[in-house]
């Protein structure tokens, strides 16, 4: 599968990039994508710190005071939630929000997410991301001709080009990730996916290596 490479100034490059069919040519399955997105979002959730309830507090269980005649309530021990230092009533409990998902399913989900952008025609391959002087105005002037959507995810190679990261730092519609951070949720959420040549090589090596 060949795709024409685009330059940052919006002009079409004369060269093409060969995309691996096993990574970019799959038929997306909604059930696989759904499973991976649910797993990814569940992994993000933080668990509450468990509080100590009445049974977890180490305090005396000896009855203090008389049952009658003291003018106070008839308490049995100091572990009750009504006392300072006692156990908390209906406290937060540790919950597990980290479901497991087979690595093969996760890899398949990422491949299908990439393939879905090819199928929708919203995948752009860039030659490089170098922006002159790292200025936002230099990048902003070319956004209209680049074909970026309302939201764009840009994935580079090992590290994101510093000048591009600086230039799009004030553009909230552009999200930038290195190739190692490519994930199903961010790819599907973005209207347009932009890959550099280096990103294509890294993603294909990630699945073939």
pTM attached to this predicted model: 0.79
Q: Measure CA 86 to chain center.
A: 40
pLDDT at 10: 63
Q: Which residues contact 172 (CB under 8 A, 6 or more apart)?
A: none
pLDDT at 105: 96
- The pLDDT tens digits for 100-149 are 899 999 999 999 999 999 999 999 999 888 888 888 888 887 777 787 88
Q: Which residue has the tokens 């922006």?
A: 131
Contact 151, 190 (CB under 8 A): yes
Domain boundaries, the chain: 2-46+102-208, 48-96
Q: Which residue has the tokens 């991301």?
A: 129
Encoded tokens for 56: 């977890």
What are the strands, taking DSSP E only, across 38-173? 123-126, 152-155
Q: Which residues contact 17 (CB under 8 A, 6 or more apart)?
A: 2, 3, 4, 5, 125, 197, 200
The CA-based angle 120-123-129, given to 5 degrees, is 165
Please name the residue ranges forming H helices in 45-157. 103-120, 136-140, 143-146
Fold for the domain defined by 2-46+102-208: Ribosomal Protein L4; Chain: A; (3.40.1370)
pLDDT at 201: 93
Question: Residue 6 pairs with which residues in a beta bridge?
Answer: 12, 126
CA pseudo-torsion sign 108, 200, 130, 12: negative
Question: Residue 5 pairs with which residues in a beta bridge?
Answer: 125
pLDDT at 146: 82
pLDDT at 209: 61
- How much is the CA Rg of the chain, to the nearest whole Å? 28
Q: What's the rounded Cα separation, in Å, for the pair 199 and 24?
A: 13
Mean pLDDT, 10 residues at a time, the chain of 209 residues: 82 79 93 96 85 90 83 86 91 84 95 95 89 83 80 92 89 93 96 94 87
């Amino acid at each position: 599968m060949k795709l024409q490479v685009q330059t940052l100034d919006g002009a079409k490059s004369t060269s093409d990039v060969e995309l691996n069919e096993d990574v970019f040519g799959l038929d997306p399955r909604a059930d696989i994508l759904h499973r991976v997105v649910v797993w990814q979002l569940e992994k993000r959730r933080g668990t509450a710190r468990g509080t100590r309830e009445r049974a977890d507090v180490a305090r005396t269980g000896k009855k203090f005071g008389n049952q009658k005649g003291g003018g106070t309530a008839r308490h049995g021990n100091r572990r009750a939630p009504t006392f300072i230092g006692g156990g908390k009533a209906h406290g937060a409990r540790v919950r597990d929000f980290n479901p497991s998902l087979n690595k093969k399913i996760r890899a398949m989900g990422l491949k299908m997410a990439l393939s879905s952008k090819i199928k929708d025609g919203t995948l752009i391959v860039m030659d490089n991301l170098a922006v002159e002087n790292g200025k936002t105005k230099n990048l902003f002037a070319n956004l209209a001709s680049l074909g970026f959507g309302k939201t764009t995810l840009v994935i580079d190679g090992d590290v994101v080009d510093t000048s591009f990261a600086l230039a799009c730092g004030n553009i909230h519609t552009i999200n930038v990730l290195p190739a190692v951070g490519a994930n199903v949720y961010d790819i599907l959420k973005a209207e347009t996916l932009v890959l550099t040549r280096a990103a294509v090589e890294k993603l294909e090596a990630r699945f073939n290596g």
